[in-house]
Amino acid sequence: MSSNSVYSRLGVRPIINAASWRSGVSGSLMPDAVVKAMAEASRSYVDIYELNRKAGEVIAKLTGAEAGMVTAGASAAMLLEAAACIAGKDPAKISRLPDTEGMKNEIIIHHAHRIGYEINFRAAGAKLVMIGDTHHTTEWMLESAINDRTAAVAYVIGPRPGGALPMPEVVRISHSRGVPVIVDAASMLPPPENLTRFVAMGPDLVCFSGGKGVRGPQSSGILCGKKEFIEAATLNASPYAAIGRPAKVSKEEIVGLVTALELFVDTDFDALTRKWLSMAEYIASEVAKVPGLTAVAEPGEPEHLEFDTTLPRVVVKRDSSKHRLSTDDLVDRMASGDPSIRVVNKLFTGGFFISPVTLQDGEPEIIVRRIREIMTAR
């Protein structure tokens, strides 16, 4: 956190983001090289079709997919995934979205994968067909849900309660019936290995956020996959007057995302993860000394472990002894203080968690001091 006149001019105070790369706390901070590349991009006109194509080639190379494109966040990528499967490259269908009457318009999705972002598929006119529950889904449930109105099967990789079929099974069953598979892996970067990992499982389209762990522009995203499908997604996107037009990506954002992605794959995440873990351990050991609280540094997020994502975090809970403040009160007071400190309340934990991945130098100490102050105030 630093003093910043562009924000103070608007009367906005910067916050300490201990809540990771979430949209509500403004995503990530772009590396200087990304900001510089964006400023440079802003000084010349280009043919946006050509820029899209060349950026797509970089994405294809780094993801191992046949083709790629820059989108306005993973959400826009999901909208384009749906549009590509429903309208394809047919100009008549493209111009009719989100009216999909008479088209193949059903997208099958695991109940366990309904975490809210499926609204992006519906925005293209898809009708969602739910399978399974949060405990289990069987192959026959997927098989029997596929019919001649099925446009795609969606698969979400990320924090979720579980109960979905493994992705390779979903790809096998769907492809055996001629149905494409579209994947939302928005928050699965880092580690960089995940850029190629899900693509290699054979789905038709995969998307990632560009504004989370990749540290591109907050509004950017990555869509990659089979050439046919990327071509269809492109025709449904800006600069065409199509369903994706409200999700335009600027030349500066395209250049920023590509620059961030190239830096991202060159980053030593093992070293970075060790640094994040040691920050988490420091915070946990200090917070654990505060009366009324327990704190544990976890090496990875358990809900991500299926995919080996190892983002450390600190889980803070009330201990059994009586204290007049609830963890909700504590979280509220951290947010309303000066500086405002934002943590993640109640995500799977029963307490709150502090993420070190977005913390800057000096901030772990400020957080610890503030928690101690709030809990010991009389």
Catalog residues that contact ligand PLP under the rule CB under 6 A: 23, 73-75, 117, 156, 158, 184, 186-187, 209, 211, 221
CA atoms within 13 A on the CB side of 222: 42
Tell me which residue has tokens 């997208």. Answer: 107
Shortest Cβ distance from residue 292 to ligand PLP (Å)? 32
Shortest Cβ distance from residue 238 to ligand PLP (Å)? 15
198 dihedral zone (left: phi>0; alpha: psi -120 to 50; beta) = alpha
Shortest Cβ distance from residue 9 to ligand PLP (Å)? 26
Q: Cβ-closest residue to ligand PLP?
A: 73
Burial (CB < 10 A; 0-12, 13-18, 19+), residue 10, is exposed
- In the bound state with ligand PLP, the residue whose beta carbon lies nearer, of 207 and 280, is 207
Tell me the DSSP string of 326-371: -HHHHHHHHHHSSS-EE-EESSSSSSEEE-STT--TTHHHHHHHHH
Shortest Cβ distance from residue 304 to ligand PLP (Å)? 11
- In the bound state with ligand PLP, the residue whose beta carbon lies nearer, of 74 and 94, is 74
- Two tokens at 28? 């990530």
- In the bound state with ligand PLP, the residue whose beta carbon lies nearer, of 117 and 282, is 117
User: In 3D, which of 236, 239, 246 has the Cα closest to residue 93?
Assistant: 236
- Two tokens at 295? 């704190």
Residues in the chain: 378
- In the bound state with ligand PLP, the residue whose beta carbon lies nearer, of 21 and 88, is 21
Shortest Cβ distance from residue 220 to ligand PLP (Å)? 8
- In the bound state with ligand PLP, the residue whose beta carbon lies nearer, of 327 and 349, is 349
Shortest Cβ distance from residue 192 to ligand PLP (Å)? 17
User: In 3D, which of 146, 115, 120 has the Cα closest to residue 131?
Assistant: 146
- In the bound state with ligand PLP, the residue whose beta carbon lies nearer, of 75 and 310, is 75
Burial (CB < 10 A; 0-12, 13-18, 19+), residue 322, is exposed
Cβ(276)–Cβ(123) under 8 Å? no
> Is residue 82 within a helix (H) or strand (E), and if so which, with residue range?
helix 73-86
- In the bound state with ligand PLP, the residue whose beta carbon lies nearer, of 186 and 371, is 186
Shortest Cβ distance from residue 185 to ligand PLP (Å)? 8
SS3 content of the chain, % helix, strand, coil (to 5): 45, 15, 40
- In the bound state with ligand PLP, the residue whose beta carbon lies nearer, of 221 and 364, is 221
Shortest Cβ distance from residue 71 to ligand PLP (Å)? 8
